[in-house]
Amino acid sequence: MNQLKKYLGIVWILLGLAAGYYLVVNQAIPKFKSNNSEELIPAIIYAFVLMPIIVGGLIIFGKYALQGEYDFSNTETTNNAT
Amino acid sequence: MSNKKGLPAIIAASSLGTLIEWYDFYIFGSLATIISTKFFPSENPTAALLSTLATFAAGFVVRPFGALFFGRLGDLIGRKYTFLVTLVLMGLSTFLIGCIPSFETIGYAAPILVLLLRLLQGLALGGEYGGAATYVAEHSPVNERGYWTSWIQTTATVGLFISLLVIILTKGAMDEESFDNWGWRVPFWISIIMVGVSMIIRMRMSESPLFAKAKAEGKTSKNPLKESFGNKLNFKFVLLALFGATMGQGVVWYTGQFYALSFIQNTLHIEIAQASKLIMYGIGFATPFFLFFGWLSDKIGRKWIMMAGMLIAIIAYRPIYSKMYDAASTNNKQEVTASTTTERKTIDDPKHLGEKLDVALTTKHFTDGTILKETVKTRLSVAGNNNTESSVVLDNSSFWTLVWLVFVQVLFVTMVYGPIAAFLVEMFPIQIRYTSMSLPYHIGNGIFGGLLPAIATFLATRAAQANDVAIKAGTAIPYEKPFLEGLWYPIIVAGVSLVIGTIYINGRDKSIKD
């Protein structure tokens, strides 16, 4: 199980990058290009608030998983994670 | 822990305040259409910009900041005083929104004031939930934490329910013109009475026994933010809580309660009053299940109930929405053509001064009792410029089919949401509990859940456009049911959360690390 958790870390990092690409290319850029002032605020929030949280979070989570931070031996003193 | 006798009073006091906060937050959304006409006229680009800011900023950005700001305070000075402040802040903001003169009276000051008060609402909401959940959990007996905290979990749904109810009752008590002129302010004013009562009750409450003990022993945190997010040993659990639980829970919550309403109104075109009634029944019947799944989580653990809720939701969403469409679509019903009537009149165009509109209202009746009203508005001065609006009033059988399908979706919500307060509380130590649990909760719900309407609408619109292109080109349409495409967002997000939660979370140890 610990090995699986580690390998999946790569998947979470890739998923973070894919989510970032989707948010920027499909959501933020079309809104920036639309020249509609109502679209500007969502575009800024997608690009500068949501994207960093989602992408950064998933990449760090994946990195911790790869490093074995969620292995049983590293978390047995805590409550809900193995 | 508190003795069990006093626990119902503690739960009632905590839940009432949280419920009022949700009521306050939703009342703005439920009255969004009328608020926009009073404060954010669409023909004015600056006001429209402020409107978008009020919607997005309060929902997405400010809530996590509220979680950080009040979470820190709650871990430094205590749970009781912090969630007393969030309650007052929310109540005053809501009341004042109801007092602001319209854009016509005070110009740009109106939308700016509404925006500021809406941001304060978001901030207060961000701070309230974590405090209430922590407070109740720290009073609860060890093996009943899931049940007692599930009362807090009912508040978001009941708050939405009451906001719809208050609007319906206020509308029913006056004519349409009075409601449009001043009646819409009543639901905002009511908040101050509810907050006043709740505040008096909360002021009589004592501090959480676990926090009071930790404080007396000098064990509270000096810098909760740094300890929560700067320390890898804790931060990894913040990420796990977010990606393995609250992210999936957030999209299931928003799909069952908001996307369902939006789908019923905008895709099925059900008349607003019937749509609100339908959602209220669905929510009302499902609400007791928050308590059931909270209770059950004390017996069999939190993790598998939440994961089962996500899994069933993922599998069932597309069949459920397909069934909703089939039950309400007039294409599947037999029209009584002899009963069809058309009324035609010419009125002044409210949007274009000095111009006239031709309005044709066609009423169609169907054999099962369903009524479809189609209104075609044509600008007489512009050739070929017309706008069609549809409104469906469902027959009894279709109505109850939709109530059942909404109920099932809210049932999924109760599975993922009922046990989550206890789950989050148990994940973090007392010194940084308020801060650490609030942030993943509000990012999961505010960001992943809050993104749902925008992304789901984008996916469904893109599918419909692809079909239009195919029809024009004379090729086969790529999407048989384009209105289902928006569901891929909650399905994928909940799917990722399910995999992470299943593999990385272990619900065996329920110690609260006192």
Token pair of B186 as six digits: 């009543």
Q: Is residue B509 part of a domain?
A: no
By residue count, chain A amounts to: 82
- d(Cα B74, Cα A67) in Å, to the nearest integer? 33
Cβ pair B52:A42 closer than 8 A:
yes
A69 in contact with B, Cβ within 8 Å: yes
| Contacts across the A-B interface (CB distance below 8 Å) | 92
Distance from the Cα of A47 to chain B's closest Cα (Å) equals: 13
B56 in contact with A, Cβ within 8 Å: yes
Element spanning B116, H or E: helix B109-139
Q: Is residue B204 part of a domain?
A: yes
Chain B (388-427) residues lying within 8 Å, Cβ to Cβ, of chain A = 423, 426-427
Distance from the Cα of A28 to chain B's closest Cα (Å) equals: 11
B48 in contact with A, Cβ within 8 Å: yes
Cβ pair A57:B243 closer than 8 A:
yes
In this structure, the answer to whether residues B272 and B363 fall within a common structural domain is no
From B446, which residue of chain A is nearest by alpha-carbon distance?
A50
Q: Is B145 helix (H, G, I), strand (E, B) or coil?
A: helix
How many other C-beta atoms can be found within 10 angstroms of the C-beta atom of residue B182?
11
Q: B370-400: string of b/e by CB count within 10 Å (b at 16+)?
A: bbbebeebbbeeeeeeeeeeebbebbeebbe
For the CA atoms of B10, B16, B19, B20, the dihedral, rounded to the nearest 10 degrees, stands at -140
Cβ pair A58:B243 closer than 8 A:
yes
B496 in contact with A, Cβ within 8 Å: yes
B142 in contact with A, Cβ within 8 Å: no
Strand order in the sheet with B386-393: B341-348, B356-365, B371-379, B386-393
CATH, residue B176: 1.20.1250.20
Amino acid at B439: L
- d(Cα B421, Cα B430) in Å, to the nearest integer? 14
pLDDT given at position B255: 94
Distance, C-alpha B378 to centroid of its chain: 36
**Ordered per-residue pLDDT tens for chain A, 82 residues:** 888 999 999 999 999 999 999 888 887 888 888 777 667 777 887 788 788 888 999 999 999 999 999 986 665 544 444 3
CA-wise closest residue to B27 among B179, B161, B181: B161
pLDDT given at position B508: 63
pLDDT given at position A82: 36
Domain hosting residue B386, numbered range: 337-393
pLDDT given at position A79: 46
Cβ pair B511:A79 closer than 8 A:
yes
Token pair of B137 as six digits: 């959990």
Q: Where are the domains of chain A?
A: 2-75
C-beta of residue B21 within 8 angstroms of C-beta of residue B132: no
Contact partners, residue B137, CB within 8 Å, separation at least 6: B145, B148, B149, B421, B422, B425, B426, B512
pLDDT given at position A77: 43
pLDDT given at position B3: 58
Measured between beta carbons, the chain A residues lying within 8 angstroms of B511 are 79
Cβ pair B427:A41 closer than 8 A:
no
* Span between the terminal Cα atoms of chain B, in Å: 10
Q: What domain count does chain B have?
A: 2
Q: Is residue B203 part of a domain?
A: yes
Q: What are phi and psi of B73, to 5 degrees?
A: -60, -45
**Ordered per-residue pLDDT tens for chain B, 514 residues:** 555 667 888 888 888 888 888 888 788 877 877 888 888 776 676 676 677 666 666 666 788 889 889 988 888 888 888 888 888 898 899 999 999 998 888 888 988 898 889 889 889 888 888 888 888 888 888 889 999 999 998 988 888 888 888 988 998 899 888 988 899 999 999 989 888 888 888 888 888 888 888 888 888 888 888 888 888 888 999 999 999 999 999 999 999 988 898 899 888 999 888 988 898 899 999 999 999 999 999 999 999 999 999 999 999 999 999 999 999 999 889 999 888 999 988 888 766 677 888 889 999 999 999 999 998 888 877 766 677 888 899 999 999 999 999 999 999 999 999 999 999 999 998 888 888 999 999 999 888 888 787 788 888 888 999 999 999 999 999 999 999 999 999 999 999 999 999 999 986 655 554 4
State the DSSP string of B306-328.
HHHHHHHHHHHHHHHHHHHHHHH
Cβ pair B243:A12 closer than 8 A:
yes
Distance from the Cα of A36 to chain B's closest Cα (Å) equals: 9
Cβ pair B243:A41 closer than 8 A:
no
Amino acid at B357: L
B514 in contact with A, Cβ within 8 Å: no
In this structure, the answer to whether residues B165 and B303 fall within a common structural domain is yes
pLDDT given at position B128: 86
Cβ pair B61:A45 closer than 8 A:
yes
B251 in contact with A, Cβ within 8 Å: no
Distance from the Cα of B36 to chain A's closest Cα (Å) equals: 13
Last residue of a domain, one of B359, B374, B393: B393
From A57, which residue of chain B is nearest by alpha-carbon distance?
B239
In this structure, the answer to whether residues B417 and B305 fall within a common structural domain is yes
Mutual orientation of helices B109-139 and B145-172 as an angle, nearest 10°?
Answer: 150
Q: Is residue B1 part of a domain?
A: no
pLDDT given at position B273: 82
Q: Is residue B514 part of a domain?
A: no
Cβ pair A81:B423 closer than 8 A:
no
Q: Is residue B115 part of a domain?
A: yes
Q: Is residue B351 part of a domain?
A: yes
Q: Is residue B2 part of a domain?
A: no
- d(Cα B261, Cα B279) in Å, to the nearest integer? 7
